[in-house]
Amino acid sequence: MRCLVANWKMNLLSASAGAFCDALLADPSLAGSSGCQLGIAPPFTLLKQVSEAVRGRRISVFGQNARAEAEGAYTGDISMAMLKDAGCAGVILGHSERRRLGGETDALLAAKLQAAWDAELLPLLCIGETLEEREAEQTFPVLQRQLSILGPKPGPLWIAYEPVWAIGTGRRAEAKQIQEAHAYIRAELMTRMDEAAWRVPILYGGSVAPDNFAELLQIPEVAGGLVGGASLDPAKFMAMAKTAAKTEE
Ligand code: 13P
């Protein structure tokens, strides 16, 4: 199965999100292949609007974050159940921007992961090394640490390998670097999940764009992409969706 998820981050308002969904739904190719699972992760304010717009279509809506606690006095935050209530099927967890800007630790993410499973949301766990960690040859230990929160018997999940230095820089990681990281992640999953590990899609994220997506999908173990900047333009998003559908695994 191919996967393509748009991470809108803190972008778009109701008018532009509506125009995005209209363009997406008007594209005849969307009704075609069923082999590419599409996802959109809008900001909180647009979750309900986007979920309602894509209801009944082959598109899942993801939250970009939520709190681990079920409810309570957490001004400004929202819960996993609230994401679900707004129409989400999944939630992005551990994005490097939240690790870096929001101070999210692996311990916190372990609690969020469990909360997502408890709320029957599909976690899309983001992992990846910084440039300093790569240069210090710490990529695999970092990935191992970030994956350790899965515990011995993880529930259903998707993973996105997003090297921090490739995010928003226009500098996509090289094929060999991606292949090595994805193979490492798969092997780590195998130690915890046996055969079920093969059903976990491993997406790549970091400067994915229509002109490099086909090449990306040729790399072994790459199930698809988690896309930031290029996902804000419906024409680019649909171009990538078509590429993914053409190269169904
Ligand atoms: P860019 O596609 O803008 O590099 O962002 C990647 C990302 O962070 C997706 O989660």
- Please write the tens of the pLDDT for every residue from 183-216: 999 999 999 888 888 899 999 999 999 999 999 9
Q: Is 249 noted as a catalytic residue in this protein?
A: no
What does pLDDT average to over the chain? 95
User: What local confidence, expressed as pLDDT, does residue 101 receive?
Assistant: 93
Q: Is the CB of 240 under 6 A from ligand 1?
A: no
Cα 230 to averaged position of ligand 1 atoms, centre (Å): 8
Average pLDDT over residues 55-65: 95
The Cα 239–Cα 20 span in angstroms is 14
Rounded Cα distance, 92 and 51, in Å: 16
**pTM across the whole model:** 0.97
The arithmetic mean of pLDDT across residues 147-153, rounded, is 92
Å from CA of 234 to ligand 1 middle: 16
- Give the pLDDT confidence score for residue 248 in this predicted structure: 72
Mean pLDDT, residues 119-130: 98
Question: What's the topology of domain 2-246?
Answer: TIM Barrel (3.20.20)
Q: In sequence order, what are the residues at sequence separation of 6 or more whose Cβ sits closer than 8 angstroms to the Cβ of residue 103?
A: none
The pLDDT score that the predictor gives to residue 247 is: 83
